[in-house]
Chains A and B, each alone.
Chain A
Amino acid sequence: MNKYTERIYNGVVKENPTFIMMLGMCPTLAVTTSAINGFGMGVSTLAVLILSNLIISALRKVIPDQVRLPAYIVIVASLVTVIQLLIQAYIPFLYDALGIYIPLIVVNCIILGRAEAYAAKNPPLLSVMDGLGMGLGFTLALTLIGIVRELFGAGTLFGVQVMPGFYEPVAILTKAPGAFLVLAIIIAIMNGAQIDTAANDKVESCDGCCATCGKPCATPKQETAETKEGETV
Chain B
Amino acid sequence: MTSLFMIVITAAFVDNVVLNQFLGLCSFLGVSKQIETAGSLGAAVIFVITIASGVANLLYDFVLDPLGLSYLQTIVFILVIAALVQMVEMFLKKAVPALHSALGIYLPLITTNCAVLGVALNNVTDGYNFIQSVLAGFGTAVGYTIAIVVLAGIRERLAYNENIPKAFQGAPIVLLSAALMAIAFCGFSGLA
Contact = CB atoms under 8 A, between A and B. Distances in A.
Contact of B108 (A27, A74, A192, A227): A227
Nearest to B125: A100
Interface string A202-213: 000011111111
Contacts of B72: 81
Nearest to B73: A103
B6 interface: no
Interface in A35-87: 70, 73-74, 77-78, 80-81, 84-85
A191 interface: yes
Interface stretch (A7-15, A143-151, A159-167, A181-189): A181-189
Main secondary structure of the interface of B (DSSP, over half): helix
A112 B176 contact: no
A231 B108 contact: yes
Contacts, number: 156
A26 B112 contact: no
A104 B118 contact: yes
Contacts of B91: none
Main secondary structure of the interface of A (DSSP, over half): helix
Interface residues of B, number: 53
B74 A210 contact: no
A26 B186 contact: no
A128 interface: no
B179 A233 contact: no
A188 B74 contact: no
Among A30, A184, A200, max chain B CB count under 10 A is at: A184
A183 B172 CA distance: 8
Contacts of A180: 175-176, 178-179, 182
Q: Interface size class for chain A?
A: 35 or more
Contacts of B150: none
B83 to A, nearest CB: 5
Among A84, A180, A185, max chain B CB count under 10 A is at: A180
B152 to A, nearest CB: 13
Interface in B99-122: 108-114, 117-118, 121-122
A52 to B, nearest CB: 13
A220 interface: no
Closest 7 CB pairs of A and B: A208-B30, A180-B179, A184-B175, A192-B167, A199-B171, A177-B182, A30-B22
